[in-house]
Amino acid sequence: MASSNRMLLKQLLYLALVMPMIFSSVNGNGLKVGFYQKSCPQAEAIAMNVIKETLAVAPSLSGPLLRMFFHDCFVRGCDGSVLLDSPTKQAEKDAIPNQTLRGYEIIDRVKTALELHCPGVVSCADIIALVSRDVVVQTGGASWEVETGRRDGRVSLLNDALNNLPPPTFNINSLRKLFQQKGLSMKDLVVLSGAHTIGISECSSFTNRLYNFSGKGDNSFDPTMDPYYVAALRKKCTKNGPNIFVEMDPGSSKKFDVHYYELVSKNRGLFQSDAALLDNAETKSYVEAHKSGNQGSFFKDFGVSMVHMGRIGVLTGTSGEVRRVCSKNN
């Protein structure tokens, strides 16, 4: 009997030691905070310094650099495949949804700095994740702990980007389906949409809402839009005029804050996918709760949702590689 009790005690002690390790590995998909603490302890500080210097002279890069993480993770997972070049222009970056992305040279600058300190250690996929956090911090948002340990993928296909990146015309049902496929919730959808608080967009991404909406004549516009906002946009985005850029969050496009939700609540979301947030009870409730402030809540939620997104389809362990140059495979 005593022997049996000792055996049971040993089994319980074993489970107490082993099970937390198992669950921590599963929950993070092989990622963890501080992955480079021993192999490249200055990695995060180096990346932050480059972004700080970059945005001090080129603040317009904040939006594209933040979007890059989304555009990477939603296509083949967060594996840095959006950075790969193709001699035949058939990589992800060549797809129409990615042609307005900018800042690849900044990712290269971070990579070069890291290669000098710890060659062959920090993946390009992790650099994108770290840069997204650093951009938010440098534009007035709050920081969060970024899970690292991703490896870089070797495949980048134009059609994958076309099939996985949501167009600005998506309605709430299409958005919900896509986010569910990626393992993300409706809360993640409305929170990550808040990234539209910084950056600019081409007129071509939303002019369908300004003219001949649903084939109802040149002067018709999307009835879900504030007519005064439509009038202001029409002055900049003429029907047959040049494809210029406008602020996604007018008056606050260089500052990471909750102003985006105020605009959406007033039917001034720039894209149909922004307006769609009012067509679901959960997402609408979040918009309403943050339209007049509550910035601390949004900042906390944004960090959590970015961590969730950062776990999509990651390569870890011996999968993939750590590229020496982010635009090409080793």
Q: Which CATH number fits the domain that encloses residue 53?
A: 1.10.520.10
Task: Name 184's Cβ contacts closer than 8 Å, sequence gap at least 6.
Answer: 192, 305, 308, 309, 312
93 within some domain: yes
pLDDT value of residue 13: 42
How far apart, in whole angstroms, are the C-alpha atoms of residue 107 and residue 203?
A: 27
pLDDT for 243 = 85
pLDDT at 293: 86
Q: What is the mean pLDDT of residues 109-127?
A: 98
As given in the structure block, the two tokens for residue 154 are 């070797």
pLDDT tens for 188-220 read 999 999 999 999 999 999 999 999 898 777 789
CB 236 within 8 A of CB 227: no
* Alpha carbons 170 and 159: distance in angstroms, whole number: 18
List residues bridging with 315 in a β-sheet.
151
Give the domain range for residue 292. Answer: 172-305
Q: Is residue 27 part of a domain?
A: no
What's the pLDDT score for residue 239? 86
CATH, residue 257 = 1.10.420.10
Would 328 be classed as within a structural domain?
A: no
146 and 189 together in one domain: no
Q: Of 145, 164, 183, which residue sits at a domain end?
A: 164
Task: Please check whether residues 180 and 236 belong to one and the same domain.
Answer: yes
Summarised one tens digit per residue, pLDDT across range 4-44 is 445 444 444 443 444 443 333 333 579 999 999 999 999 99
What does the pLDDT look like over 58-98, one tens digit per residue?
999 999 999 999 999 999 999 999 999 999 999 999 999 99
Q: Are 309 and 198 in contact (CB under 8 A)?
A: no
Q: Do 182 and 141 share a structural domain?
A: no
Question: Which is nearest to 138 in space by CA: 194, 40, 57?
Answer: 57
Question: Which pLDDT score, from 0 to 100, does residue 217 have?
Answer: 72
Residues 6+ apart with CB under 8 A from 90: 157, 158
| Active site residue ranges | 71
Instruction: Of 24-38, 118-132, 137-151, 262-276, give the lowest mean pLDDT range.
Output: 24-38
Question: Could you tell me if 48 and 144 lie in one domain?
Answer: yes
pLDDT one-digit tens code per residue, 269-325? 999 999 999 999 999 999 999 998 889 999 999 999 999 999 999 999 999 999 999
pLDDT at residue number 216: 75
The total number of structural domains that make up the chain: 2
Model-wide pTM > 0.75? yes
Q: Is the confidence at residue 158, as pLDDT, over 60?
A: yes
Percent of the chain with pLDDT over 70: 92
Mean pLDDT for 162-189 is 97
pLDDT of residue 6: 52
At 47-58, the pLDDT tens digits run 999 999 999 999
Same domain, yes or no: 129 and 231: no
Rounded mean pLDDT of the chain?
91
